Chains A and B, each alone.
Chain A
Amino acid sequence: MEHIVIIGNGISGITAARHIRKLSDKRITIISDETDYFFSRTALMYVYMGHMRWKDIEPYEPHFWQQNNIDLLRARVTDVHPDSKKLTLSDGSSFSYDTLILATGSVTNTFGWPGLDLEGVQGLVTKQDLEELEKHAPDAEACPRAVIVGGGLIGVELAEMLRTREIEVTFLVREGAFWNNVLPDREAGMISRHIQSHHVDLRLNTNLKEILGDEKGRVCGVLTEDGEEISCKLVGITTGVRPNIQFLQNSPVHTDKGILVNRFLETGIPGIYAIGDCAQQREPIGDRPAVEAVWYTGRIMGETVARTICGQRTPYSPGNWFNSAKFFDIEYQTYGWVSSKRKRREHEAHFHWIHPDDDKCITIAYHVDTKLFLGINTFGIRMRHQVIDRWLTEGKDLPYVVTHLKDANFDPEFYDQYENEILSAYNAEFKTQLKPAKKNWHRIFFNTK
């Protein structure tokens, strides 16, 4: 029987395994040196914050794997030998496969600062990182202050985590506002203010120069490029992630930033596929980056490769882009493309609305000539994926979107709704007199009137 070996038990590898099992009775082995069982990486923060125990972030009970006849192997793969279809494990033993799926995910990206190897300098990607954090920053007594380097999603999560243990946080961000390389400026500004309201010492336009250590090799502070020294017991490196591909350096698998794959997630070596964060599309799809380090795309790739392996060769064709995050108390959802100032294309214009409380806003991107709906960012307001996705696919225009926002609202019942205010703001800005459409179940669920 064909033996499928999957390296990596994150969302991509696990999704692939589950779908292969649904479609076939091939032998499946998942190898991981991180944990015994699949866990939700995006939920690591909640364990440190005391919202959940470790077992609560494992989506499947331990008996699930046996029941579904999926073998789990706790080991580290150090080398891949496609000629003999064998893997070398860190204990020196070798392990055979017929089909190999590389789903090794990401590692923390660093920029070669001096002092990276000091005790107390770490990222937040793996379970081991979480254990390190518990060791270095268990409470405010052991760690009165932490410095976080890099203003992205992991950075803000780490800041929120540390604040729950009353640890002071200095947050060094290279840009002029938090995450404004992705978010439009006004949104980035709102989130920056929200982060500061949680008593985070947010330093914008600030770069790290060097990490300082004491005589025991422990971190004791950082030096910024402005020459300021900030003392701290923990340095969180959250300047993004990069594909975890070091184990392939001696193998013939083609790599660049990540493992190079075609649209079918094939590496070019027969029987070897790569999915998730570690994969790099040889030709990027649409506006998508070649390496997509996102939960949802990992899941889609897992589903897709399972179909290919089970006999229905299927290209990776993600639908409309979507993503979400939470910045302390403010939830963020995005559908389609809403570009930051830096990445904004000529034809892309934005309609923006912000609530006076400074904790809710939306930005709708549209084509400046045709008014075609390009994407939407919402903060503090939940949107219905199904509806927005359909608007993007069907190519609705901006007036349609702003008049039908009630169909797309996904906030809990009895929440204040802002669609009328948003439309008033739109009418004022565009000198129109549009009227809001009432929420309609049939339009929402069945796309009928």
Chain B
Amino acid sequence: MDTKDQSMSLAGQPPKALGTGQKFATTLGLSGLLILLLAVFNVDFPNKVLWLSVSLAAISAGIIWFSVQAYTGKHPGIKNDGVWFKSISGRGLWAWMLGIVLTGFYVILYFYPQFLGLRQGEDNTGIIALFDPLSRLLSGNPASQWFVYGTLYTIAILAFGVKFILKYRHNRYEKLRTYSVMFFQTGFAFLIPEFMARLNGDLPYYDLKNIWPLNYYMFEQYRVNAFIDAGNIGLAMLIFGVLSIFVITPVLTYKYGKRWYCSWVCGCGGLAETAGDPFRHLSDKRMVAWKIERWVVHSVVVFVTLMTTAVIYSYLGNDSSKYWLTRDVFLIGVGVLLTLVFGWAMIFRRNQLKKDAQYGAIGYFIIIIALIGFHYLSGNGQVFLFSSGTLRKTYAFLIGSIFSGVIGTGFYPIFGNRVWCRFGCPMAAILGFQQRLFSRFRITTNGGQCISCGNCSTYCEMGIDVRAYAQKGENIVRSSCVGCGICSAVCPRGVLKLENGPLEGRINSREVLLGNDVDLMDLVNKQ
């Protein structure tokens, strides 16, 4: 269908203007942002504590007041009226402007922090100086661009979290998981690392819930050295980091699906589910988007695995008498681990993989050949044909900055709120691999009750065509599903339920006759 069908309005437009209260709330929030903007342009506020407090309070209060105005006067229930008619959520002018502003912000944040007032070896200026008092209060150190970003990020999750909770106040699953991401962002991502820096200055910044490979710099030499130098506590944290990916993650994903992380804990997910919620319907549901998704996200997994292996390899020694973990032991270890995972999937889950088995095999052999390459082609600080530093920098630039920040968040109003999680996040891909093959989690389709309306697919932020499964009576077991629960919430017929049930019969790929009598169903299923 062409674009004229996007809005069927011919003679007029449905109500979508803001009420008076919402206009005041918007003004209040924008005035808070204006203070920050003035600080960027080096307006020197005399009392930084006061002005920063005023600014952050105005932003938060504006968002919360707006949400109260928007939802509390209405019945609890689904609040998607006019979503596609509004400029900001319907890819209109406001959406593009917001997208450009956000993208510009990320470009400056990642590549030109001096414009925000970051000064090496002298006092900060601009907006970063405005945040100095808060940073000193928490960690004792002056602020950095990352502190400014972290503070604003946390405020966004908290204030828009309140909005989300008001919007879905009839749905306890949505409320609980939003409390959860608000807690993990404030505690684990924001406060605890700052306090740790105050208590033990040698520890590197460590957001405990940020797990490798999302946290791609976890095992870099400077961090590992810092952990080890910081004594028992540092060592404990390093061990926790390793356990997170190899033990904690698989166990929780087996029990609950990857949602335990992606929509209950993760900070990227937290922002997407709160500030990004008004854009969830913008994800691309076409088959071609799914194809691109699978290639891109799994390429990132291969990339991050090789990069991390190369980085660790580069700082390990060759002499086993000094330390047992030598370069060769490490490479062999990585190879054995991958072989075990790959072998398990091929032997026990072959029938579920189908065509994906080929892609998996390609990824596996690229890594194994690269590992062999490391061994034979490395030397003089070179790993394979590149230096590990080059690999690491390339990854940090392409994936860590451009993909997750500039595109992932900057383009919320255009591509939807989970672009990074869907196309880029290697953590999500690894959890998804497990969710697809070894987890109790599924979205159960309720017999033949689906009416193919499309609300589930439209509001799936991961671009899953949920309806395609539901209308056939099939359960939805997709690696990319983050378990946000919105498909179930927006379904007008009670067709979808997220649940952790037995493994057996989880994927019912045979097509049942939806509603025909029992004998006929048997007949069909026998064929």
Partner of A383, one of B76, B81, B82, B494: B494
Report the Cα distance A173→B400, complex, angstroms: 61
> Which of A175-183, A204-212, A323-331 is the contact stretch?
A323-331
The CB with the most chain A CB atoms within 10 A, among B12, B75, B170, B467, is that of B12
Does residue B373 face the partner (Cβ distance < 8 Å to A)?
no
Contact A413–B173 (Cβ < 8 Å): yes
Indicate whether A324 sits within 8 Å of B10 (C-beta atoms), given known contacts A52-B454, A413-B499, A446-B505. no
Contact A43–B493 (Cβ < 8 Å): no
- Which residues of B in the span 490-510 have a Cβ within 8 Å of any Cβ on A? 490, 492-494, 497-499, 501-502, 504-505
Contact B10–A134 (Cβ < 8 Å): yes
Partner of B447, one of A139, A166, A198, A386: A386
Does residue B20 face the partner (Cβ distance < 8 Å to A)?
no
- Size of interface on A: residues with Cβ below 8 Å to B: 73
Partner of A295, one of B444, B451, B468: B451
* Minimum CB–CB distance for A435 against chain B, Å: 24
Partner of B517, one of A142, A317, A412, A446: A317
Contact A164–B172 (Cβ < 8 Å): no
Contact B85–A50 (Cβ < 8 Å): yes
A319: B residues at CB distance < 8 A: 515-518
Contact A57–B454 (Cβ < 8 Å): yes
* Minimum CB–CB distance for A391 against chain B, Å: 13
Contact B520–A410 (Cβ < 8 Å): no
Report the Cα distance A383→B448, complex, angstroms: 12
Contact B85–A329 (Cβ < 8 Å): no
* Minimum CB–CB distance for B286 against chain A, Å: 6
CB nearest neighbor in B for A50? B82
Partner of B12, one of A142, A297, A300, A416: A142
B471: A residues at CB distance < 8 A: 59
* Minimum CB–CB distance for A308 against chain B, Å: 12
Report the Cα distance A437→B338, complex, angstroms: 45
The CB with the most chain B CB atoms within 10 A, among A61, A384, A412, is that of A412
Contact A389–B447 (Cβ < 8 Å): yes
Partner of A140, one of B9, B15, B498: B15
- Which residues of A in the span 41-64 have a Cβ within 8 Å of any Cβ on B? 42-43, 46-59, 61
A389: B residues at CB distance < 8 A: 447
Partner of B172, one of A52, A198, A415: A415
- Which residues of B in the span 24-81 have a Cβ within 8 Å of any Cβ on A? 75-78, 80-81
A441: B residues at CB distance < 8 A: 501-502
Contact B10–A51 (Cβ < 8 Å): no
Indicate whether A56 sits within 8 Å of B454 (C-beta atoms), given known contacts A300-B515, A318-B516, A318-B517. yes
Partner of B448, one of A43, A166, A322, A442: A322
Indicate whether A50 sits within 8 Å of B513 (C-beta atoms), given known contacts A56-B457, A415-B172. no
Report the Cα distance A414→B168, complex, angstroms: 13
Report the Cα distance A442→B1, complex, angstroms: 46
Report the Cα distance A304→B524, complex, angstroms: 11
A93: B residues at CB distance < 8 A: none
Contact A58–B1 (Cβ < 8 Å): yes
A49: B residues at CB distance < 8 A: 80-82
A295: B residues at CB distance < 8 A: 451
* Minimum CB–CB distance for A129 against chain B, Å: 12
Report the Cα distance A382→B498, complex, angstroms: 13
Does residue A333 face the partner (Cβ distance < 8 Å to B)?
yes
Does residue B458 face the partner (Cβ distance < 8 Å to A)?
yes
Report the Cα distance A299→B472, complex, angstroms: 11
A296: B residues at CB distance < 8 A: 448-449, 514-515
B10: A residues at CB distance < 8 A: 131, 134-135, 138
Does residue A40 face the partner (Cβ distance < 8 Å to B)?
yes
- Which residues of B in the span 1-15 have a Cβ within 8 Å of any Cβ on A? 1, 5-15
Indicate whether A52 sits within 8 Å of B505 (C-beta atoms), given known contacts A40-B452, A413-B498. no
Report the Cα distance A318→B489, complex, angstroms: 29
B497: A residues at CB distance < 8 A: 382, 410-413
Does residue B239 face the partner (Cβ distance < 8 Å to A)?
no
Per-position contact with B for A1-34: 1 when CB-CB < 8 Å, else 0?
0000000000100000000000000000000000
* Minimum CB–CB distance for A322 against chain B, Å: 7
Contact A57–B13 (Cβ < 8 Å): no
- Which residues of A in the span 305-346 have a Cβ within 8 Å of any Cβ on B? 314, 317-319, 322, 324-326, 328-329, 331, 333
Partner of A329, one of B76, B86, B454, B499: B76
Report the Cα distance A131→B11, complex, angstroms: 11
The CB with the most chain B CB atoms within 10 A, among A56, A197, A414, is that of A56
Report the Cα distance A37→B1, complex, angstroms: 9
* Minimum CB–CB distance for A55 against chain B, Å: 4
B515: A residues at CB distance < 8 A: 296-297, 299-300, 318-319, 322
CB nearest neighbor in B for A415? B172
CB nearest neighbor in A for B451? A42
Does residue B369 face the partner (Cβ distance < 8 Å to A)?
no
CB nearest neighbor in B for A36? B1
Contact B81–A164 (Cβ < 8 Å): yes
Contact B83–A51 (Cβ < 8 Å): yes
Partner of A43, one of B7, B173, B286, B451: B451
- Which residues of A in the span 375-389 have a Cβ within 8 Å of any Cβ on B? 382-386, 389
Contact B516–A384 (Cβ < 8 Å): no
Does residue B84 face the partner (Cβ distance < 8 Å to A)?
yes
The 10 closest A-B pairs by CB, nearest first: A385-B447, A138-B12, A382-B494, A329-B77, A43-B453, A54-B5, A50-B82, A319-B517, A414-B172, A326-B492
* 23 A-B pairs whose Cβ atoms sit less than 8 Å apart in the complex: A37-B1, A49-B82, A50-B82, A50-B85, A51-B455, A51-B490, A52-B453, A53-B6, A54-B6, A59-B467, A61-B286, A134-B10, A318-B516, A319-B516, A319-B518, A328-B75, A329-B75, A329-B76, A329-B78, A386-B446, A412-B498, A413-B497, A414-B176
Residues of B within 8 A of A (CB): 1, 5-15, 75-78, 80-86, 170-173, 176, 286-287, 444, 446-449, 451-455, 457-458, 467-468, 471, 485, 488-490, 492-494, 497-499, 501-502, 504-505, 513-520
